[in-house]
Each structure stands twice: as C-alpha cells, then as structure tokens.
Amino acid sequence: MTAIAMAGWLAQAGLRNMSLEELVDGFGRRLNEAGLRIERMFVGMNTLHPMVRARSLIWTSGEGVARHFEFAHADIDSAQIQQSPFAAMLRDGIAELRQPLDAADVLPGIPVFDELRGEGMTEWMGWVQPFGELTPQVGSSSEADHAERLWLAVSAATDRPGGFSDEDLALLREVMPVFALAVKATSMRGIGHGLLAAYLGNDPASRVLSGTVLRGEVQSVEAVVFFTDLRGFTALADTMPGRDLIVLLDDYFSCMVQPVTAHGGEVLKFMGDGMLAAFAVIGGERAGGCAEALAAAQEVLARVEALNVERRKAGQPATSLDISLHIGRVLYGNVGSDTRLDFTVIGPAVNEASRIEALCQPLDQALLISQAFAEVATASRDRLVCLGRHRLRGVREDTELFGLSVSNGVSRDQRP
C-alpha cells in the first residue's frame, strides 16, 4: 500500500468516525502490508475529563488492540508516566524520537525500552502530535489540560534486524500526520461526550450529541425524582473559608452521586448544596425503579454518616443530608432561553419532591417518601413507616408521607 492510498484510507476512517480501536488496528495492519514489519504500536492522548487525565492502548501484530490504559489526574506523577519516553519528549518539546534498541547507547531509566528489547525489538520510533495551537506538555496533577494543548503520542517498534529502513521512516513520517488527524476526528466526539456527561449527565449528553438541542424539545416520561439538600449549609457557609466550603461540598456530593449512578439514576443538576436526580421508569417497571432509588438513598445516607465520623475525627465541620423520593410524570429535555439551555426535568412531581424534602427537618427524618412512591414500592412496604398526612406548600390536598424504619439502617438523628 502506498502512502497516498494509506492517507486516503485514514481520511475516510476519520470522516466516518471509525472507532479508535478499529482505526489503530487498520493502520497497523496496512503498515505491515506495506512491508514495515511493525510488531507493536502505542497510541495515547490526554483528555479534558475531570477524572481521567489520559487514555492509551497498545496494538500488536499478533493480537491487534490488546491492552487499554486509563490514568487519573493524580497518576501524572507516577513512575509509569514520568519514566515514559513521551514524558521527556513533552517536557523538552521533541516531536520525534528514534531509539535503536539493539545498540549499547539505549537511553537509561526508561523501562519500556528494556521491555521491548527483552521481546526482541530492534528499534523504537515515537512521535508527539499536537491537537491544538499551544505547545503540548505534561503539566502537574493539579493543573488541568487546555483545549488547545491536547496531544497524541504514537510509537512503533520493529523486530527487523537493523531496525527501520530509510524507506520505512519516510513512509511513517508521511502518513503519521494524517493518522493523527484521523485519531483527532474520531476521538473528539468522545472527549466532547465526556465533558458533556460531566456537566449534564450521561443520558442528557448522549441526547444532546444525538441532536436533542432545540429549546422546548422535551418528552413526558415517568420517573422517580430523587431530591437532596444539606441541612444547615447556610450557617456553615457563613463561617467557613471559601476553599474549605468547596471541599466540604465535594465530599458530600461524592457521597450522593456514586450510589445514584451505581443504581441506574441520572444526576441532572446541583443546586447550591442540593442535588436533583431521576430514575427513569423503563418498560413500566415502576416497582423496580423505586427499589433502585430507595437502595441508592440508603447507601447515600450510610456514606454521609461515615463521612461525618471522619470529618469529626479530623476536627472538621460536618452536617447531615435530607432526601425525598417521589414518583410521577415529568417533562425531560431542553428548557431555557434561545441562547442558554438546561437539560433537566420539570413538572409538578419535581416541585412536590422539593416540598417533601423541606419537611425532613420539621419531621426529624433523613429520608421522606411520598404516598405515590410508597404505593408503587410494593417490595419495600413492610419497611416503610407512615408519618401521617401533611400539607405540601403549593399543593392543594394533604398527602401521606413515609419514612424508613430505623431497623432498616436509616437513622432519624443524623445531626452533625
């Protein structure tokens, strides 16, 4: 295969949003068909994700894409990253590095070169391709990447005696920028989805990328509404330094988010010190949705109790969390102005969940469950305790509210 033909295939692969795995596998196989005898390729790139700093994969001629790696922001200081040849290339602004592996002058302190030499590789070639206008760099674990400082790191290793020929290198140098462009085309959608999911939620992100972008484009769905609020947060905000307050919020939000997503819920927004989440009722399985939401609520409260123990031991302020669970029909989709939209749920069920949560403190309950939820949650009825009928602000008729019995793991006294 000629360089022109390979570049044409790469361009089409990028335009079709071919998956990264297919793209790398197709590229590696075509390079070998052109006679380059590449045994292993590494492909890695940084991201703009709040949890993931970089992702990479390894392709081999025998197995194809064999291994995937994912690195958190804290991993940037790890030996695995700092001892990579790409770390030095990024630090020193080196776009291409050629390293014979069968010579005596192999760069010391780089474990991957020893590994490749042990596998019989004779030469390694590495490239750093920028994905933006700014100079690529590694940065620190506390320094977020910039949208114009994204990069692609690629290496190819051969076991051919004497390493790559001049013709091999000429072909690689000719097609590598086109490969980088194809990777950028197919990976930017994933980067965009990761960013949208971090700010909107996974399902809203998928819907927005699929074209649900018009104002007023909503659908009526049945869902369990999961509403939370930290008790006494305003008083804490008046007394705590700003940075400490943000750390506190992050700690408690972590307690809330992980169980909700683990049980199939979607976190839609944070509202100051509160959170709105929803569990979609799929295929009419209302009882199943309620069971998942209730299990998530119990796990959230257990995590909050454990966090409060840790914070008190450390001499840090602690607080408690109130949760309400309700089920009903909501409007799910885009709401806002013509220039600023929010993907959320609205409707009477959301308002009622908020009103129910406001009664947690007066009723000395960490968890309040609506009558509608209790009627559907048949598998949990023996664990629910009736708390009488109550008036919800803005709702005409009184409604019955329920709590979870103390024997089922929810303490009514969660004061810090």
- Measured distance CA(91)–CA(97) in Å, rounded: 13
Residue 411 banded pLDDT, cuts 50, 70, 90: low
What six digits make up the tokens of 213?
């972008």
Distance of CA 120 to the CA centre of its chain: 38
**pLDDT tens, position by position, 338-382:** 889 999 999 999 999 999 999 999 999 999 999 999 999 988 888
pLDDT tens-digit series, residues 190-238 = 888 888 888 888 889 988 988 888 998 999 999 999 999 999 898 899 9
- Counting Cα atoms < 13 Å in the Cβ hemisphere of 132 gives 16
331: confidence class by pLDDT, cuts 50, 70, 90: very high
Confidence of residue 148 (pLDDT cuts 50, 70, 90): confident
- Over residues 158-167, mean pLDDT: 95
Q: Average pLDDT, stretch 311-315? A: 94
Residue 142: its pLDDT value, please?
62
Distance in angstroms between the alpha carbons of the first and the last residue of the chain: 69
Cα angle 62, 64, 65; round to 5: 140
Q: What is the mean pLDDT of residues 87-96?
A: 91
Read off the pLDDT band of 415 (50, 70, 90): very low
Q: What pLDDT was estimated at residue 408?
A: 58
Name the band, by pLDDT with cuts 50, 70 and 90, for residue 412. very low
Does residue 49 carry a pLDDT above 70? yes
The reported pLDDT for the residue numbered 248 is: 95
The pTM (predicted TM-score) of the whole model is: 0.79
71 is written with which tokens?
A: 């690195």
Average pLDDT over residues 332-342: 91
SS3 string, 308-349, reads HHHHHHCCCCCCEEEEEEEEEEEEEEEEECCCCEEEEEECHH
